[in-house]
Structures are given as structure tokens and as C-alpha cells.
């Protein structure tokens, strides 16, 4: 009904207005329409993993680029040692004595071995051990060699397991639930990480997601285009512990003119209402 009324008003204005005045009015209305139309978010900017270079039915061979993770400062390691007689290694295998209702992340924090600012962990009877920049497999071999040297013989059949105590990361910006998450799995893709914080909102920029990653030399910022299927070939497709993920807002969010077709239509109708009202008042 509102649209019909606006149409009738515009028709009346056209019939009672001179050619030159009408030309200016149409230019103003056209300008408003063009601004509003450019504020709508294109469909291609909202779809993940688009095949932008090949036909949709072509075969895509995607090669994983993940490299072994190297331990950083503030990582928490879970270390378990097994031998024929477990009583001999009970001191190496801490068991939580705190709140039994504590979450997995809390138990890992209290029972695990935190890498200090010097890149070291402190293990009972073995003392301090440098682990900064090593993979978990390399740390396993270090601990095993240290135990054979100081504590046990090869006949003890030592078996050492070292894992990260969860993969902790932080997501910020245009996501459903910004904050810090801890996932207890070996590998996490950027899509899994985002899905666990409530997905990217309609006003989030999927074409330029930032990964702020910690290195021994400092922090680096990496860019990912999640709308391109080739993101799966990126060395940053898998997140790492202590990563910060930032999703920037699209410019359409700050304009406030609507991000979907329905919102855009509502804005257009409102704008036309204002224009026609002003024109009618000026003619009284």
C-alpha cells in the first residue's frame, strides 16, 4: 500500500511539474537509487570456496600445505611416560588433584607443562629442558634419551607421548561469538575454527580474513580469501595454537542502508517517502 501511494504521488508530481524541474527531481531520485543499490552485499561475496578459475565440473587437486608445528612460548604440553613398571614413572605423569568438575582446558593448564619465556619446560627429576622451536616428535626423542641416560635402561621399554594440551585460539570482529576457544584435536582448519565461534556474519569480509600468528621473531599477519577454493592450498589454511583470527566488517555495515534485498527495498521505500514528502511540501 505504501509503495502504491508513493507511485501515485510521483505520478502527480510528473503531471504538474515542468520539464526542467522534473529533470532535476529524476536526477536526485536516480542518484539515491544508485547509492542504495551499491550498498547491497553481492552474492559472490557471501559464498565460500568458489571455483573462480575453472569450470564448476572440473577436477580440483588440492595439496595440503600444513607443516609440522613447532612449539612456542606459552604453549602447554601434555607429557605421558610409560614403562613396564608404571610405579617408576608416576612422578612424571601428573594427575589433577583440584576440582573434579574442571573443564578439559583447566585440567590441561594445571597438569600440563607450560613453555616459559625462555622456551623451557621443567620436568620432575629431569630438570629444565629447552623445547622452543621443536616439534612434539623431537621433544619425545629428547625426553626418551634423557630418561635412558639418567633414569632407566633400554630394557624398561620406555614409551613417551608428547601432545599439545589443546589448540587455543582467539576470534575477533564479525563473527557470531567472538572470544577464545580451545579445541582438543591435532589439526583445525580455518573453517572449523570459525564454525566454533558462530560463523562469519553477513557483514563480515570473507575475502580478507586476517590470521595474526606468533613466531619466535614476533607476530606476522597473513591474509586468507575464504571465497576462493584455492584457500585450501594456503600454508595458513590450518590454524596454529595462539592464533588470532580477525574478520573485518564490510563497508556496507557502516552505511546502514541494508545488507539484504528485503532490507534494501525497505530503505528505498523510506527514501522515496522522504523525497516525495519534501517535494509536496515545497509545492504547497
pLDDT tens digits, one per residue of 99-148 = 555 566 777 778 889 999 999 999 988 899 999 999 999 999 999 998 88
Burial of 103 (0-12, 13-18, 19+ CB in 10 A): exposed
Q: Is residue 96 part of a domain?
A: yes
* ∠ CA 201-232-175, rounded to 5°: 15
Provide the sign of the torsion angle of the four alpha carbons 147, 78, 131, 190, taken in this order: positive
Q: Is residue 225 part of a domain?
A: yes
Could you tell me whether strands 204-215 and 244-249 are parallel, antiparallel, or unpaired per DSSP bridges?
A: antiparallel
CB 147 within 8 A of CB 107: no
Question: And the C-alpha cell for 47?
Answer: 559464498
Q: Distance of CA 274 to CAs 32, 91, 103, 147, 218, Å?
A: 11, 77, 56, 81, 54
Which structural domain, as residue segments, surrounds residue 129?
Answer: 76-164
**Tens digits of per-residue pLDDT, 251-271?**
876 655 555 555 555 665 666
Domain of residue 206, CATH code? 3.10.560.10
Are residues 154 and 204 both part of a single domain?
no
Q: Cα separation of 264 and 182, whole Å?
A: 39
Are residues 28 and 155 both part of a single domain?
no
Among 164, 198, 214, where does a domain finish?
Answer: 164
Burial 57-72 (b: 16+ CB within 10 A, else e): eeeeeeeeeeeebbbb
- Residue 224 DSSP SS3: strand
Q: Is residue 266 part of a domain?
A: yes
Are residues 53 and 171 both part of a single domain?
yes
Beta-strand ranges (E) seen in 91-166 are: 113-114, 120-123, 127-130, 159-164
Burial of 240 (0-12, 13-18, 19+ CB in 10 A): buried
Q: Is residue 259 part of a domain?
A: yes
Quote the DSSP letter at residue 41: P
Q: Cα separation of 283 and 268, whole Å?
A: 23
| Segment of 5-14, 26-35, 211-220 carrying the highest mean pLDDT | 211-220
The tally of domains found in the chain comes to: 3
Average pLDDT over residues 78-84: 87
Q: Is residue 68 part of a domain?
A: no
- Looking at residue 10, its pLDDT comes to 57
What's the pLDDT band for 211 if we cut at 50, 70, 90? very high
Question: And the C-alpha cell for 105?
Answer: 582446558
Least-confidence region, from 170-174, 187-191, 226-230, 279-283: 279-283
Amino acid at each position: 500500500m505504501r509503495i502504491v501511494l508513493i507511485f501515485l504521488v510521483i505520478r502527480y508530481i510528473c503531471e504538474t511539474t515542468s520539464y526542467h524541474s522534473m529533470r532535476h527531481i529524476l536526477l536526485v531520485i536516480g542518484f539515491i537509487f544508485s547509492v542504495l543499490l551499491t550498498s547491497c552485499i553481492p552474492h559472490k561475496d557471501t559464498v565460500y570456496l568458489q571455483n573462480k578459475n575453472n569450470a564448476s565440473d572440473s577436477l580440483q587437486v588440492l595439496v595440503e600445505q600444513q607443516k609440522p608445528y613447532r612449539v612456542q612460548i606459552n604453549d602447554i604440553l601434555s607429557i605421558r611416560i610409560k614403562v613396564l613398571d608404571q610405579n617408576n614413572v608416576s612422578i612424571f605423569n601428573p594427575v589433577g588433584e583440584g576440582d573434579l568438575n574442571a573443564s578439559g582446558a583447566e585440567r590441561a593448564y594445571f597438569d600440563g607443562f607450560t613453555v616459559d619465556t625462555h622456551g623451557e619446560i621443567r620436568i620432575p627429576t629431569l630438570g629444565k629442558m629447552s623445547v622452543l622451536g621443536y616439534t612434539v616428535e623431537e621433544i619425545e626423542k629428547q625426553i626418551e634419551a634423557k630418561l635412558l641416560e639418567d633414569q632407566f635402561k633400554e630394557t624398561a621399554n620406555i614409551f613417551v607421548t608428547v601432545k599439545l594440551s589443546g589448540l587455543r585460539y582467539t576470534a575477533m570482529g564479525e563473527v557470531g561469538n567472538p572470544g577464545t576457544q580451545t579445541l582438543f584435536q591435532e589439526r583445525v582448519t580455518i573453517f572449523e575454527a570459525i564454525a566454533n565461534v558462530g560463523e562469519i556474519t553477513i557483514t563480515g569480509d570473507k575475502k580478507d580474513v586476517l590470521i595474526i600468528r606468533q613466531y619466535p621473531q614476533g607476530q606476522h599477519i597473513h591474509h586468507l580469501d575464504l571465497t576462493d577454493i584455492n584457500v585450501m592450498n594456503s600454508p595458513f589454511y590450518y590454524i596454529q595454537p595462539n592464533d588470532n583470527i580477525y574478520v573485518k566488517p564490510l563497508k556496507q555495515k557502516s552505511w546502514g542502508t541494508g545488507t539484504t534485498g528485503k532490507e534494501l527495498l525497505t530503505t528505498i521505500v523510506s527514501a522515496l517517502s522522504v523525497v516525495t514528502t519534501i517535494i509536496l511540501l515545497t509545492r504547497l
